[in-house]
Amino acid sequence: GLIYYNGEYINDNIAISPDDRGYQFGDGIYEVVRVYEGRLFTAEAHFERLLRSASEIQIELASTVDDYIAICERLIAENRVQDGLIYVQVTRGIAKRNHIFPESTEPVTLIYSYDSARPVQGMEEGVKVITLEDIRWLRCDIKSLNLLGNVLAKQQAHIADAVEAVQVRDGIVTEGASSNVFIIKDGTLYTHPANHLILNGITRKVIKRCAEELNIPFVEQAFTPDALYDADEVIISSTSLEVTPVTQIDDQVMAIGPLTRKLQQAFKEKIYPAS
């Protein structure tokens, strides 16, 4: 399909420089944006977060939120994407290998789309997660290309037949390796505050709005692994997972509860507002 690379739309393979700092240092940022029925979902929020991530690592972007949306819309149209995802990454640029920022280089932007169905089975039946020590760096609020901590955690989950590795730092549940984590206890929804220890998920924001509309109290307060095991309901969320119930944490089985189902329904109405 058509790919956007550094200002151009290219129909076959692109040539990537060995001196791209994305390869050498993971020196860049990314986003994954949802497409439902050929339409972008919460794209403004994703590109605002991209601009924030860039600014936090001192990458100066020439493009605006609207520029990124225009590129995505062209890719969706040309590639005839219905239900899919768009991957967007920006690296600091191409320069002879040196940790210090290069004096003059332009950021390198890559954007492509691919087909991806909604995760209906996981949403319906629930998924297994494991808990794992959070060994990542202390700026998890930046959507950095440096994903080694996340990759190692995810692989460990995979080996354990789990879909997610819930990260635990200093006795506190932070988030998943590629998702946010919520518990429901006595009718209240809890999730870790959006600080430097987690990525402030766009799906998390949509869930917050759904909870408000459903009059489910939404409390941004950290909780322990014990509270996770003791919860009435547990949810993980992300752009690709939407609102996915957790039915097993390590060796403990969990039930899917009524508030999870209500949040899933409210989320679906955000995706398909007319229906």
Residue 144 makes contact with ligand PMP by CB under 6 A: no
Q: Which stretch binds ligand PMP (CB under 6 A): 57-65, 151-159, 232-240, 248-256?
A: 232-240
Considering 143, 154, 205, 262, which one is annotated as catalytic?
143
Among 89, 113, 178, 264, indicate the residue that binds ligand PMP (CB under 6 A). Answer: 178
Residue 239 makes contact with ligand PMP by CB under 6 A: yes
Q: Which is nearer to ligand PMP, 179 or 260 (CB)?
A: 179
Residue 33 makes contact with ligand PMP by CB under 6 A: no
Query: How many residues interact with ligand PMP (rule CB under 6 A)?
Result: 14
What is the distance between the alpha carbons of residues 92 and 105, in angstroms, rounded to a whole number? 8
134: nearest Cα among 177, 70, 190: 177
Token pair for 76? 């969706």
The answer to whether residues 156 and 211 touch, using CB atoms and an 8 Å cutoff, is no
What is the distance between the alpha carbons of residues 33 and 248, in angstroms, rounded to a whole number? 28
Measured over the CA atoms of residue 175, residue 181, residue 185 and residue 187, the dihedral's sign is positive
Q: Which is nearer to ligand PMP, 147 or 227 (CB)?
A: 147
Q: Which is nearer to ligand PMP, 150 or 244 (CB)?
A: 150
208: nearest Cα among 270, 118, 125: 270
The DSSP element (H or E) to which 115 belongs, if any, is strand 108-115
Residue 131 makes contact with ligand PMP by CB under 6 A: no
Query: Is residue 205 among the annotated active site residues?
Result: no
* Least distance between ligand PMP and beta carbon 179 (Å): 5
